[in-house]
Chains A and B, each alone.
Chain A
Amino acid sequence: MIWSSFVDLAHGFEVALQPHNLLYCFIGVLIGNLVGVLPGMGVLSAVSILLPLTFGMKPVAAILMISGIFYGAQYGGAICSILLNLPSHPPHAVTCLDGYPLTQQGKGGVALGVTMMGAVFGAAFGILQMMFLAPYIAKIAFSFQAAEICSLMLLGLLAGSTLAKGSPLKGVAMTAFGMLLGLVGTDTATSVERYTFGHYELADGIELVALALGLFGIAEFLRSVNNVAPVNTAYTKLKFRDMRPSKAEAKEAALPILRGTLVGSLCSLIPGTGPVIASFIAYATEKKVSKNPEKFGTGAIAGVAAPEASTHSSIQGDFIPTMSLGIPGDAAMALLLGALIIHNITPGPRLIVEHPDVFWGLVASFWIGNLILVFLNVPMIGVWVRLLTVPYRYLYPSALFFICIGVFATRNSLFDVGVTLVIGLFGYLLLLLRFEPAPMLLGFVLGPRFEENFRRALNIAHGDLGTFVERPISAFFLAICAALIGLQIYARIKKARAPVQLASTAFD
């Protein structure tokens, strides 16, 4: 079993090292890093803009590139948090707490150096986890039928919407709303057009890219225009030399990196707890085990090392459920799933067997991509730091155009651009009312597949709803769902909402 993983990985490297795949992997991580560095640009919108441009590419190259954006952005996001105190990338918000004080003490370079150490270690662990666990999980999932898939999806949706930040009720509402939006268009089973209101352009459904860019692009601009604090560039002069941590500092970072990595990898295995929660938990853990917790918030190396390591290990681990079960853990993975579907790769347990070049090529490209990122960030830190100073007033008009052309290029439809604007407006309203739009994307991607499996399961069981609890594996997933809901109610009664609470105590 373990040996075969290495044989497959060797094949993966063959795929990933093909010149054009290598090139797209490089472009992906480069764009990711860039997006991470630019304050005010989101990973989700960057991926959505680029998604249509990958339509002409081979599936492997497209998936490598899109994935590269995700983990590449994590490298850039840390720079933004540490040097500017801007938590513009949620997983790195917690890094600001100790990263920025370090910068103010003139040790920003060291903080970045430690971040790099944590990133490499965390990522390596996450990739190993994916290499050995994903094929195994997929093998278990082979026997799943419609009822099991349905319950598993329900679990993923529920976890994704209740464990993320914000109110769980609102999270579930957003997920259900997203699922509803996913149903717009022609019903595959009966060919009836649903919720199209006479617009033939909607017969194929709302475009994933239009939804993502409306919610995470236009809504974001509407909120931020003329409302962004000017970037403080006092600490953005940084050179390669400054990044090397001293021996004592490296030693101080070692254990927190290890603990952070483990927290991250655990979080990536629990559906719905992505890198954001992982980084908060890692920080809180570190504060708890530390001998001098009062140092946290004033520039503790451990306060940078642990959350960064956990972010990187959980980002890589996040790919596991997406690639082995076809069930994404968060909005970013939902986009990746959308990309797979667009490229005619059916996500699910069969993916690894049927498309070994995609899966193992991806794993190999993770190794290569992370290596490239280290070379991009360590010697060239000066270049990235200079990019931090690109003002928002140049950024958002350019991004707005790329959103328009990106949505248009998806299916050469200007109607979709209008749809994006409407979704953006509605998205702003949702933000105003403190709804988190991310679970919506998750629901949108899984909605149609959920309906399809729900129908099939009940059709097989002759309309007997009991099928979901009579089948043991399905009952097991439903039990976890019930436990999740019970936990939320219990936590609410105790007025201490577990992960969110942890997150907010980390900020005290």
Chain B
Amino acid sequence: MMKRFERQRDYYAGALMILVGVFAGYVATTYDLGSLREMGPGFFPLILSVLIAALGVGIAATAGRTEGDAYGPMAHGHRVGVDLRGWAAIFAGVVAFIALGHYAGMAPATFACVFLAAIGDRQNTWRSAATLALGITIVAVVVLAFGLRVQMPIIKGF
């Protein structure tokens, strides 16, 4: 399955660009195109969209011709795929930050964000995650809230 993905990677890559180009191009045509002399808001986006889609075709057409690059972004034995626990934790961390940042304030948002994200690493325990989260929360309150005056109340309604 891995090998197959390696082989077909550039087809997917090309398809993604074609998709992006077609979609963005369609949206661009809903704006006024204008003329070369008086360009409307849709003109330049349309050029870019066509270019992106064309490049997508080019990428798919030349698929498999480029050998893997040893120091490419996916080198170093990085697995391809989703680490469920890690992903869920990173997601939960960011979402918790947004939600608690809105309803509860910076301190709870910080704690939740760091704690949830840390739990995603299999080597972290509840305890080490909580300790780390507490430490970062203290730093955040001192440096960001008091020092740099980030515009988020430390605790809402307090």
Chain A CB within 8 A of B104 CB: no
Kindly report which residue of chain A lies nearest to residue B39, judged by CB atoms.
A455
Tell me whether B142 is interfacial, beta carbon within 8 Å: no
With known contacts A195-B27, A401-B114, A404-B113, A227–B94 Cβ distance under 8 A: no
Question: Contacts of A503 on B, CB cut-off 8 Å?
Answer: 71
Residue of B nearest to A90 (CB): B71
A305 shortest CB reach to chain B, Å:
21
Q: Does A417 contact B (CB under 8 A)?
A: yes
Contact string against B for A residues 208-242, beta-carbon threshold 8 Å, 1 for contact and 0 otherwise = 00000000001001111111010000000000000
Q: CB within 8 A of A394: which of B9, B27, B132?
A: B132
- Known contacts A169-B55, A226-B122, A435-B13: does B32 contact A194 (CB below 8 Å)? no
Q: Are A433's CB and B136's CB within 8 A?
A: no
Give every chain B residue within 8 A of A53 (Cβ-Cβ). 148
For window 82-102 of chain B, which residues contact chain A by CB distance below 8 Å?
83, 85-87, 89-91, 93-95, 97-98, 101-102
Contact segment of A175-183, A330-338, A361-369? A175-183
- Any chain A CB within 8 A of the CB of B22? no
Q: Is the CB of B72 within 8 A of A165?
A: yes
Does chain B have a CB within 8 A of A7? Answer: no
Q: Do A221 and B90 form a contact, CB below 8 Å, given A398-B132, A451-B44? A: yes
Interface check A11, CB cutoff 8 A: no
Q: Which chain B residues (111-152) contact chain A, with CB distance < 8 Å?
A: 113-115, 117-118, 120-124, 128-129, 132-133, 136, 140, 144, 148-152
Q: How far apart sit A56 and B147, CA to CA, in the bound complex (Å)?
A: 12
> Within 8 Å of chain A (Cβ to Cβ): is B78?
yes
Q: What residues of chain B lie closer than 8 Å to A169, measured between beta carbons?
A: 55, 58-59, 62
User: Min CB distance, B27 to chain A, in Å?
Assistant: 6
Cβ of B17 within 8 Å of any chain A Cβ, yes or no, is yes
Pair A225/B120 contact, Cβ less than 8 Å: yes
With A176-B52, A177-B52, A409-B151: A170-B121 Cβ-Cβ less than 8 Å: no
Q: How far is the CA of A420 from the CA of B101 in the complex (A)?
A: 15
A-facing mask of B47-70, CB < 8 A → 1, else 0? 011011001101100100110011
Taking the closest CB of chain A, its distance from the CB of B122, in whole angstroms, is 5
Question: When the two chains form their complex, are residues B90 and A173 in contact, meaning their CB atoms are under 8 A apart?
Answer: no
Q: What is the interface size of chain B, counting residues whose CB is below 8 A from a CB of the partner? A: 82
Residues of A187-223 at the interface with B, using a CB-CB cut-off of 8 Å, are: 187, 189-190, 192, 194-195, 218, 221-223
Neighbour of A405 across the interface among B9, B56, B65, B140, CB < 8 A: B140
The answer on a CB contact under 8 Å between A436 and B73 is yes
CB-CB < 8 A to B52: which residues of A? 173, 176-177, 180
Q: Is A462 an interface residue (CB 8 A)?
A: yes
B13 touches A397 (CB 8 A): no
In the complex, are the beta carbons of B79 and A432 less than 8 A apart?
no
Given A180-B24, A393-B124, A417-B97, does the pair A173, B55 have CB atoms closer than 8 Å?
Answer: yes
The digit string for B29-45, where 1 denotes a CB below 8 A from any CB of A, is: 00110011111111011
- A396 interfacial by beta-carbon distance below 8 Å: yes
Q: Which of under 10, 10 to 19, 20 to 34, or 35 or more describes the interface residues of A?
A: 35 or more
Contact A431 B73 (CB under 8 A): yes
Q: Do B144 and A87 touch (CB < 8 A)?
A: no
Contact with A along B1-29 (1 / 0, CB 8 A): 00000000110110011001000100100
- Distance in Å: Cβ of A328 to nearest Cβ of chain B: 19
The dominant DSSP class at the B interface is helix
Residues of A within 8 A of B45 (CB): 180, 183, 194-195
* B residues near A177, Cβ cutoff 8 Å: 17, 20, 52
Q: Do A507 and B70 form a contact, CB below 8 Å, given A187-B41, A226-B86, A434-B9?
A: yes
A459 on interface, CB distance cutoff 8 Å: yes
**Separation of A187 and B44 alpha carbons in the complex (Å):** 11
Contact: A408 with B78, CB < 8 Å? no
Q: A262 at the A/B interface (Cβ < 8 Å)?
A: no
Given known A-B contacts A194-B45, A433-B12, A459-B38, A393 and B123 have beta carbons under 8 A apart = yes
Q: Which of A225, A405, A431, A435 contacts B86 (CB 8 A)?
A: A225
The residue in A180, A223, A229, A412 that gathers the most chain B C-beta atoms within 10 A of its C-beta is A180
**Inter-chain contact A401/B117, CB cutoff 8 Å:** yes
Q: Inside 8 A of A391's CB, which chain B residues have their CB?
A: 123
- Contacting residues, chain A, for B66 (C-beta < 8 A): 167
A407-421 contacts to B, CB under 8 A, are 408-409, 412, 414, 417-418, 420-421
Give chain A interface residues in 369-422, CB to chain B under 8 Å: 391-394, 396-398, 400-401, 404-405, 408-409, 412, 414, 417-418, 420-421
Instruction: Give the shortest distance, in Å, between A443 (CB) and chain B (any CB).
Output: 9
Does A463 make an interface contact (CB < 8 A)? yes
In the complex, 5 of the A-B residue pairs with CB atoms within 8 angstroms, ordered by the A residue number, are A222-B86, A401-B140, A417-B98, A433-B10, A507-B70
Closest 6 CB pairs of A and B: A225-B86, A463-B37, A463-B36, A397-B117, A397-B118, A393-B121
Residues of B within 8 A of A (CB): 9-10, 12-13, 16-17, 20, 24, 27, 31-32, 35-42, 44-45, 48-49, 51-52, 55-56, 58-59, 62, 65-66, 69-74, 76-80, 83, 85-87, 89-91, 93-95, 97-98, 101-102, 106, 109-110, 113-115, 117-118, 120-124, 128-129, 132-133, 136, 140, 144, 148-152
Given contacts A172-B51, A397-B114, A408-B101, 12 further A-B contacts (CB under 8 A): A93-B71, A169-B59, A177-B17, A189-B39, A218-B90, A397-B118, A401-B97, A401-B113, A414-B101, A436-B73, A455-B39, A492-B65
